[in-house]
Amino acid sequence: MAKKNYFSTITAKASTTAKKKITYKKQNDYIKCSHCSQKINEGCDFFTLELHWKIKKAPDVKNFCSLSCLNKWTK
């Protein structure tokens, strides 16, 4: 089954006449591992890592299917 990318483009008007294009990816119904990109079954155990940055307001959330993927991602 081929992977499909769902991108949408919206145009937002600024206070001036200039226009900005914003491209975003729609949310999927599933969670993927941050290292191996495998789909994670939410009924099973999986690991979530929250990275808190001083320059960002919201933390980055990374999901991992196993401890070995988490270990490989940190290296």
pLDDT reported for residue 60 = 77
Per-residue CA distances from 75 to 20, 24, 54, 60 (Å): 37, 29, 22, 18
Question: Could you report the average pLDDT of every consecutive run of 10 residues in the chain (75 residues)?
Answer: 46 44 54 82 74 74 83 84
pLDDT reported for residue 47 = 74
pTM of the model: 0.48
